[in-house]
Amino acid sequence: MAAQISIYPLRKTSISDTISEALAAFQTSDVEVHPGALSTVIAGTEDAVFAAMREGFRAARAQGDVVMVATLSNACPMPETPHKEGASNARHQPG
């Protein structure tokens, strides 16, 4: 399973701290993490993805008001980047 996640901090002059906290939470979870310019893709088991999303949202909201947008899939191919050590490989290969 994979999720493409975007974090939108509200009423802040700098958004980088909020996004960095969410990204750090994803990276300490049991998921593959693929940061991008506008969103981050995480992948792993269903339980791990939902847990990582919850922890990422909690980390972001600790910085203030925030909106989190997520798109979930069980069929999308993953970016070809090194995956986090210890995380499950949730890459879907086209058939």
Residue 86 CA, chain-centre distance (Å), reads 16
Can you read off the two tokens belonging to residue 55? 């922890």
Q: What local confidence, expressed as pLDDT, does residue 71 receive?
A: 97
When pLDDT is averaged across residues 70-93 and rounded to a whole number, the result is 62
Give the pLDDT confidence of 23-81 residue by residue, as tens digits.
999 999 999 999 999 999 999 999 999 999 999 999 999 999 999 999 999 998 766 65
Residue 88: pLDDT above 80? no
Domains along the chain with CATH numbers: 2-73 (3.30.70.930)
Q: Contact at 8 Å (CB) between 22 and 77?
A: no
E strands within the chain? 2-9, 32-35, 40-43, 66-73
Q: What local confidence, expressed as pLDDT, does residue 85 receive?
A: 46
User: Which positions ≥6 away from 25 have C-beta within 8 Å?
Assistant: 52, 55, 56, 58, 59, 60
Whether this prediction's pTM lies above 0.85 is answered by: no
